[in-house]
Amino acid sequence: MTAVPSAQSRPGAVAPARRSQTWRTVVAVNAVIALIVAGLITAVLWSVTSTFQSVEKIPFAFPPEAGRPAVTTGEAAAALNFLVLGSDNRGAGGSLTDLAGQHSDTIVVVHVPADRSALSVMSIPRDSGVEVADQGETSISAALSVGGVPSAVQTVKA
């Protein structure tokens, strides 16, 4: 009669207890990796959220409802326009709302169409002559100096 070799005596065979321990190790390593990834995602989300919450809001940057154009409908309503203004510094208190005497160095209009297929950027030369409210004909960069961000927004819209 021939003896049948056991699992422990066969070369390359893994004992059942050892196989169970290997799976526990694999599960533990994957759990640790998942916790690290979850921690990194939480840290990034917290950082992004706190950054956006610290953005300074400018009150009254837009004219009252009565002075605005009619609300657009259809595809044009989904388009976005951004006005990017730059100044030498942020005024005495470090606030964007106190820009008296500051001229805008950079005036850029960014247009994103409704289908989000492209991005158009238009720079307005700072010395362009325009009609600024309460100032008459002057350079567009002076609109920021005259009435702050609301004046610059209204001047570009006009």
CATH of the domain at 146: 3.30.420.590
CB 104 within 8 A of CB 91: no
Res 121: pLDDT: 92
Per-residue pLDDT at 69 exceeds 80: no
Res 152: pLDDT: 80
Domain match, 92 and 141 both: yes
Domain match, 113 and 149 both: yes
pLDDT one-digit tens code per residue, 78-96: 888 888 887 766 555 556 6
Domain match, 76 and 149 both: yes
Residue with tokens 């247009």: 111
119 vs 3, which has greater pLDDT?
119
Residue 133 backbone class (left: φ over 0; alpha: ψ -120 to 50; beta: rest): beta
Domain match, 72 and 32 both: no
Domain match, 32 and 94 both: no
Q: Report the distance separating Cα 142 and Cα 29, nearest Å.
A: 62
Domain match, 47 and 109 both: no
- Structural domain of 46: 14-55
Q: Phi/psi at 110 (nearest 5 deg)?
A: -110, 125
Whether residue 60 lies inside any domain: the answer is no
Per-residue pLDDT at 5 exceeds 80: no
73 vs 38, which has greater pLDDT?
38
- What is the mean pLDDT of the segment spanning 47-60? 77
Domain match, 104 and 142 both: yes
**Total of domains in the chain:** 2
| Single-letter residue type at 2 | T
**Cβ-proximal residues to 99 (8 Å cutoff; 6+ apart), any chain:** 87, 90, 91, 144, 145, 148, 149
Kindly report the pTM of this predicted structure: 0.54
Domain match, 76 and 94 both: yes
Handedness of CA 84, 88, 89, 95 (dihedral sign): negative
- What is the mean pLDDT of the segment spanning 22-45? 95
Residue with tokens 């694999």: 26
